Copies of this chain bind each other. A is one copy, B any other.
């Protein structure tokens, strides 16, 4: 299949319009099954080392499970606040949307017991495959005008317990998924001056 210049430009637009969505932007309009399906299809269309497809997706709608996740976040964020005690801005930020988002998705990595093609030297390739799936899901959600927020201020082991994950799985990402009242024009952390945007020239070198 050949793609056109317009297709590439549209892809860049989707990438540049993707945002990390927090609780204050989610609305409670339910996500249609076919749209959730499309987000998951995007996930399993990601590259995976040795075609191992080591991803597992756990869909969470249950309020009790969500509450345990919120508690998990609060505990971890208390530690984080101590680390950022001199940064006033940190303490004002809303950093999760677990209950506000109608759907949460835990994205897990299930390692294979046997050797995997392409993982004999770089052992993290399995995890990295699952991260590629997360990025695909995030882009697809944005193309469907649905927001995703990746919550990382969590104790991984407690998340796995809360969602009753299989023993040998690892948490790669905890995603909050839902429609939003609006997408910000740029990263909120850029707007608020938490970090400056890096130009391409700062991060690319020729060798």
With A80-B120, A200-B40 given, is the CB distance from A207 to B7 under 8 Å? no
With A47-B135, A51-B190, A154-B121 given, is the CB distance from A38 to B204 under 8 Å? no
Q: Within 8 Å CB of A49, what residues of B?
A: 152
Q: How far is the CA of A16 from the CA of B43 in the complex (A)?
A: 10
Q: Within 8 Å CB of A154, what residues of B?
A: 121-122
Which listed residue, B40, B62, B79, B135, touches A46 by the CB 8 Å rule? B135
Which secondary structure dominates chain A's binding surface? mixed
With A3-B142, A45-B15, A132-B134 given, is the CB distance from A152 to B119 under 8 Å? yes
17 A-B residue pairs with CB within 8 Å: A3-B142, A7-B14, A8-B140, A10-B10, A15-B46, A18-B45, A49-B152, A50-B194, A51-B190, A58-B207, A65-B207, A93-B117, A106-B207, A118-B152, A122-B156, A128-B131, A131-B135
Q: Within 8 Å CB of A40, what residues of B?
A: 200, 204
Q: How far is the CA of A126 from the CA of B198 in the complex (A)?
A: 15
Q: How far is the CA of A143 from the CA of B40 in the complex (A)?
A: 21
Q: How far is the CA of A84 from the CA of B153 in the complex (A)?
A: 39
Please tell me if the beta carbons of B143 and A207 are within 8 angstroms of each other in the complex. Answer: no
Q: How far is the CA of A17 from the CA of B84 in the complex (A)?
A: 44
Which listed residue, B83, B119, B132, touches A115 by the CB 8 Å rule? B83
Q: Within 8 Å CB of A134, what residues of B?
A: 128, 132
Q: How far is the CA of A121 from the CA of B69 in the complex (A)?
A: 14
Interface residues in chain A, defined as those with a beta carbon under 8 Å from any beta carbon in chain B: 1-3, 7-8, 10-18, 20, 37-38, 40-42, 44-47, 49-53, 55-62, 65, 76, 79-80, 83-84, 90, 93, 95, 106, 115, 117-122, 124-125, 127-128, 131-132, 134-136, 138-140, 142-145, 150, 152-156, 163-164, 171-173, 183, 187, 189-190, 194-195, 197-198, 200, 203-207
